[in-house]
Structure 1
Amino acid sequence: MNYFPDRFIVRFIPGVSRRRALEIIQQVGGLTLLDEIPVLNVYTVGVDPLLLNIKMTILSNFSGVEYTEYDGILATQLTPNDPLLPNQWGLLKINSTRGWNVTRGSTFVKIAILDTGVQTNHPDLVDKIVLNKNFSNSSTYEDLQGHGTHVAGIAAATTKNEIGVAGLAINPRIINVKVLDDTGSGAYSDVAQGVVYATDNGAKVINMSLGGTFFSTTLQDAIQYAKDNGVLVVAAAGNNNSDDLFYPAAYPHCLSVAALNRNDTKASFSNYGSSWVDVAAPGVDILSTLPTYENRTGQTNYGTLSGTSMASPFVAGLAALMLSLDPSVNNVQNAIETTTVPLNGTGSLYERGRINTYTALLKIKG
């Protein structure tokens, strides 16, 4: 694909005012104004990738519209060739392909995936995993459940390798820290151990697509330890459709992530509450890596899962790209939060809106 699937360009004939142009765009519906070039009477609009062609056709039939066209991707930078990329609506929604023209990240930045383990020889992950550790009661750090492999792929599957999916953090590496057993459950103390281990072994980002409603001072202290040592901790807000505090996401030093559907509205299951949920990211029907062998998800190789567990690694992957440009956790978290796309519910369901890879990277690059 040599054009952005979630945006296109429309040019109006000379004499059509800006006000009229915006009225027409609004009348079509489902379009978001992204940018404009007044001297050319050109506007760039965002659109659901599934509706790209039909919205272009509808708009082109309006009186006063000179043409609509795809917003092409310049070929001077990375062009992903992962065959499943067109189906990765979440990755495309957060403006990742454009963001990769700013940076692909550094191999020195490591994302710790604290989860059910990660399949270490998965074709789309084998080149990314640099360290494995098991704190669960399972006998192996391999992923027999499926959840951790899926989360890892969202954050950092190998990109531009002509197979499978693309991961957001192209160059950063993965530390596989298994803290949940093969049924997907685990102890707070095991998770706390995992946080400390990841911090001590060079992680710059920790992703925790896990949680519970029990408050643990030990886990909070472990996250404080990570923050004090320059690690950005990202956590899923939980899937109870509730504003009750959910940990570790609700701890002050966690970047808490809610889940969105394709329409940029809160996923039906996602927890919410602007007092403790920081940002939002795609989390419904997210395509990613799954173990190549039988696992509890019932899918193998690649498949879709839904949850705030899927939203969190998008933020972790973005953070890894940003930390490649600026090592300051505070600067990166601030840039993530202040470049989000405002949504209905911003300020009530979540403190900020949906993450935007491109604008966040531009801001941190300076």
Structure 2
Amino acid sequence: MNYSPDRLLIRFRDNTPPQKCAQIHRLANAKVIRDIKELAVQVVETDPFQINTCLQCYSHCDEVEYVEREAIVQKRLVPNDPLFPYQWGVMKVVATRAWNITRGSTKVPIAILDTGIDMTHPDLQAKIILTANFSNSSPLQDLDGHGTHVAGIAAAVTRNGMGVAGLAINPTLMNIKVLDDDGTGTLSSVVQGIVYAADNGAKVINMSLGTTAFSATLHNAVKYAQSKGVLMAAAAGNDGLNQQNYPAAFAQCISVAAVDLNDTKAIFSNFGASWVDVAAPGVDILSTMPTYPNRTGPQNYGYLSGTSMATPLVSGLAALLLSLNQNPKVVRQTIESTTVSIIGTGVLYQYGRINAYNALLNLPR
């Protein structure tokens, strides 16, 4: 489990005077570097050699509701070589028949919290309606490639005579960069991205990222987004273990595992019916890649594997359903109750593999 060597997250109890908060920060020898006002959480920085002493200082103050380490969050990706000449994942979830029922709506924005999106990509640029950068890397563009790939799976422009088809077809995209150019980032960056997306009208938040570290701050962020009517999908992780990853393990998120072409759990995918909700195709998935050199490798289009690739299929499906029924609770129940039972259902995942056509047929109107 990785943590930032010099950062903590602190929430003071309600009605603690600002002067008292400042006094405690001084006693702890820490400096506030971020203030997430919506969650009443502050990010502080201290000497790495004094991090444990600083943590104990806050812990012993009655005015502190909680203090926790700043976890490092990582993308959920297993890159490998192309194996398939077509988008088998979209076919597997019966998207082509689903599109006869709806092609989604531009009024259902999907926020991609990731390494950024190539905003010049011809299969994506027309979809991006909002951009923000909460990462520690200054360029807004995706220099890693992961975020661009995820965005294309969910909502690449369809029927434009080029490239790939996004599952959600019409929904727009919010490019919210929370991971640095090396594919890692701080938990507070993700938290700020969640809050920003929720406050700016996102209907779906895709988080193809995670950490094994439980965080009350992250939990508060997803609860905040849920209170705003946002449906969230998050990657279960690629450790091949029954090991909870966050935010996927929070009840407010749909936790997504990856399966292969034969509906078998991907060897890298995390599992566990107590916290993983559904499965989706996540092996050798074709999607958009940056049109310029990037850290992951392929340019323009390429194949990648991971629970990162499975998650935007769920986000795309959620967007399709929300275009016909605006109740996120009903949409989530429909996604989960209309899955296809596969080997591991009820053991590896609570439900089965998603099926877009089944979900749209059974969506309450």
Post-superposition offset of 1:86? 6.8
Counterpart Cα distance in 1 of 2:297 and 2:155: 22
Establish whether residue 237 from structure 1 lines up as the match of residue 236 from structure 2: yes
Map Cα deviations across residues 176-231 of structure 1 (whole Å, 9 max, x no partner).
00000000000111100000000001100000000010011111100000111100
> 2:79 matched to which residue of 1?
none
> 1:207 matched to which residue of 2?
206
Counterpart Cα distance in 2 of 1:314 and 1:244: 22
Aligned runs of 1:208-223 on 2, under 5 Å?
A: 208-223=207-222
> 2:103 matched to which residue of 1?
104
Counterpart Cα distance in 2 of 1:338 and 1:283: 20
> 1:326 matched to which residue of 2?
325
Post-superposition offset of 1:364? 1.4
Aligned runs of 1:1-366 on 2, under 5 Å?
A: 87-366=86-365
Counterpart Cα distance in 2 of 1:347 and 1:364: 22
| Secondary structure, counterpart of 2:225 in structure 1 | helix
Could you tell me which runs of 5 or more consecutive residues in structure 1 were left unpaired when the two chains were aligned.
1-84
Post-superposition offset of 1:122? 0.3
Q: 1:134 to 1:124 in 2, by over 3 A?
A: same
Counterpart Cα distance in 2 of 1:348 and 1:359: 22
Counterpart Cα distance in 2 of 1:332 and 1:232: 9
- The residue type paired with residue 193 of structure 2 is G
Post-superposition offset of 1:365? 4.9
TM-score using structure 2 length: 0.76
Counterpart Cα distance in 1 of 2:85 and 2:128: 25
Counterpart Cα distance in 2 of 1:124 and 1:185: 25
Counterpart Cα distance in 1 of 2:170 and 2:287: 17
- The residue type paired with residue 89 of structure 1 is W
- The residue type paired with residue 188 of structure 2 is S
Counterpart Cα distance in 1 of 2:296 and 2:185: 18
Counterpart Cα distance in 2 of 1:340 and 1:252: 18
Map Cα deviations across residues 250-300 of structure 1 (whole Å, 9 max, x no partner).
011010000000000000000000000000000000000000100011110
Task: Compare relative contact order (CA 8 Å, sep 6+) and give the higher one, 1 or 2.
Answer: 2
Counterpart Cα distance in 2 of 1:281 and 1:343: 11
| Secondary structure, counterpart of 1:105 in structure 2 | coil
Counterpart Cα distance in 1 of 2:299 and 2:85: 19
- The residue type paired with residue 324 of structure 2 is L
User: Where does structure 1 differ by over 3 angstroms across 4 or more consecutive aligned residues?
Assistant: none
- Percent identity for Structure 1 against Structure 2: 65
Post-superposition offset of 1:327? 0.7
Map Cα deviations across residues 41-60 of structure 1 (whole Å, 9 max, x no partner).
xxxxxxxxxxxxxxxxxxxx
| Secondary structure, counterpart of 2:143 in structure 1 | coil
TM-score using structure 1 length: 0.76
